[in-house]
Structure 1
């Protein structure tokens, strides 16, 4: 889905930027240019960043505590 129409940035591109090392909305904005023109997409872009970072933290936490095997 398009998040920033001015720059043509999708939610997938935002997620990819985070997977490639961006750790904050500011870093995503600086990398992709999202929310740098009219700014109407800033709230949605921040939500995508927050959700994606939260999902990554949850996935990392799950790896830190593997399920024990029966037996």
Structure 2
């Protein structure tokens, strides 16, 4: 879905950049999101917040086998 009409930036591009660790400022500089009319800023920030690496994710703990009794 197109998030920024002025710069033709879609949600997938924003999500990919966010997952790679880009800050919202980086996305604005690199893609021009929310730098022209500004109408997309809230939507773009919402996509960025959902996809940034600092968001909590499910933590899977590896289970190791107990040593065999001697």
Q: One fold, TM greater than 0.5?
A: yes
Q: Which runs of 4+ in 1 moved over 6 A?
A: none
Aligned residue pair count? 65
Higher CA-based Rg: 2
Task: Tell me the C-alpha RMSD between the 2 structures.
Answer: 2.1
Q: Secondary structure at the match of 2:48?
A: helix
Q: Tell me which residue corresponds to 2:43.
A: 44
Q: TM-score, normalized by length of structure 1? A: 0.74
Paired with 1:48 and 1:17, the residues of 2 have a C-alpha distance of: 10
Q: Secondary structure at the match of 2:14?
A: helix
**What are structure 2's unaligned runs of at least 5 residues?**
none
Q: Using structure 2 for the length normalisation, give the TM-score.
A: 0.75
Decide which structure has greater helix share. 1
* CA distance in structure 1 between the partners assigned to 2:31 and 2:44 by the alignment: 11
